[in-house]
Amino acid sequence: MMKIHKEVTIYDIAKVLGISPSTVSRGLKDNPGIRKETIKRIRETAHEMGYQRNKFAGNLRQKHTNTIGVVVPKLNSYFMATVIAGMEKVTNQHGYGLIISSSQESVKQEISCVSTLFNTRVDGLLVSLALDTRNLDHFNIILNKNIPLVFFDRISECNSCMSVIIDNFKAGYEVTSHLIEQGCRKIVHLGGNLLSNVYAERFRGYKQALKDNKIIFDENLVVLSDLSGESGTETAKKILSMKILPDGIFTSNDTSAVAIIIELLKNGIKIPEDIAIAGFNNEPISQVIQPNLTSVDYPAREMGEIAALLLINKLRNTQSPNLNTIILKHSLILRQSSLKRNIS
In tens digits, what is the pLDDT along the chain, a chain of 344 residues?
444 456 788 888 989 999 998 898 888 888 888 889 999 999 899 888 878 766 555 555 556 789 999 999 999 889 999 999 999 999 999 999 999 999 999 999 999 999 999 988 899 999 999 999 999 999 998 988 889 999 999 999 888 889 999 999 999 999 999 999 999 999 999 999 999 999 999 999 999 999 999 999 999 999 999 999 999 999 999 999 999 999 999 999 999 999 999 999 999 999 999 999 999 999 999 999 999 999 999 999 999 999 999 999 999 875 555 568 999 999 999 999 999 876 54
Beta carbons of 302 and 328 less than 8 angstroms apart? yes
Kind of pairing, strands 248-251 and 162-166? unpaired
Asked, colleague to colleague, whether 10-53 and 64-166+300-329 share their fold, the answer is no
Pick among 1.10.443.10, 3.40.50.2300, 3.30.465.10, 3.30.70.360: CATH of 168-298+332-342: 3.40.50.2300
Beta carbons of 237 and 269 less than 8 angstroms apart? no
Residue ranges covered by each domain of the chain: 10-53, 64-166+300-329, 168-298+332-342
Q: Which residues contact 42 (CB under 8 A, 6 or more apart)?
A: 13, 17, 19, 23, 24, 27, 28, 34
Q: Residue length, the chain? A: 344
Measured N-to-C along each axis, helices 21-28 and 36-49 cross at an angle, to the nearest 10 degrees, of 90
Beta carbons of 130 and 109 less than 8 angstroms apart? yes
Q: CATH code for 64-166+300-329?
A: 3.40.50.2300
Dist CA 278 CA 174 (whole Å):
11
**Three-class DSSP category at 134:** coil
Dist CA 323 CA 24 (whole Å):
47
Per-residue exposure over 299-319, b if at least 16 CB sit within 10 Å of its own CB, e if not? bbebbbbbbbbbbbbbbeeee
Q: CATH code for 10-53?
A: 1.10.260
- Please choose, from the candidates 199, 195, 147, 149, the residue with its C-alpha nearest in 3D space to the C-alpha of residue 171: 199
**Three-class DSSP category at 124:** strand
Dist CA 152 CA 218 (whole Å):
32
- HSE-CB at 252 with a 13 A cutoff on CA atoms is 27
